[in-house]
Amino acid sequence: MKSKTTTSLTVGVGKGVVVRAARESDYAAIARIQHRSPETAQWPIGDYSGYPMLLAVVGDEPAGFCSWRQTAPDEAEILNIAVDPLFRRKGIGSALLARVCEEAQGTIFLEVAEPNAAAIALYRKQGWEDAGLRPGYYERGNVNAVVMKKRSW
């Protein structure tokens, strides 16, 4: 069984990021991050309650979150991931992805909007591979989703 410890990394200049399990008391911060990230899925916050949720914190500031689920013993999927624009390009997304890979079992899947080049570049840099395309998956059928996958370690 994999360890579910708090992940701590150094990001930016002299700043550390801690990735931990989110609590219900973090939902307001998660809602703010999601609202500030219009390119991510805009879930009703209560819908996250049934899934594992990670929160990345820099100092005492919530910086990003990731919700995921184990769909089968050897397969998982990321449901949503977002980093507050004030904390982007500082390793927050990478830290969240690494933590999911530590906790999930088997192959992990995600969908990302085809125009979201920054996210796709991050995923590819982290070793994610294209697995397919879902035509018209986002924005009422107007935006394709790139399906990506990665084996957890």
Q: Return the structure tokens found at 77.
A: 């999927």
Q: For residue 40, which of 5, 18, 74, 67 has the smallest C-alpha distance?
A: 67
CATH number at residue 22: 3.40.630.30
For the chain, the average pLDDT equals 89
What is the domain count for the chain? 1
Catalytic residue from among 48, 77, 103, 123: 123
**What does the pLDDT look like over 69-115, one tens digit per residue?**
999 999 999 999 999 999 999 999 999 999 999 999 999 999 999 99
Percent share of the chain, pLDDT over 70:
90
According to the model, what pLDDT value does residue 16 have? 87
Q: Is residue 141 part of a domain?
A: no
Q: Are strands 143-151 and 107-113 parallel, antiparallel or unpaired?
A: antiparallel
123 has catalytic annotation: yes
Catalytic residue from among 48, 77, 103, 111: 111
Q: Distances from the Cα of 44 to the Cαs of 34, 47, 96, 109, in angstroms?
A: 10, 6, 21, 22
Q: Is residue 138 part of a domain?
A: no
Domain of 26?
7-109
User: Bridge-partner residues for 83, per DSSP?
Assistant: 64
Q: Is residue 152 part of a domain?
A: no
Q: Is residue 128 part of a domain?
A: no
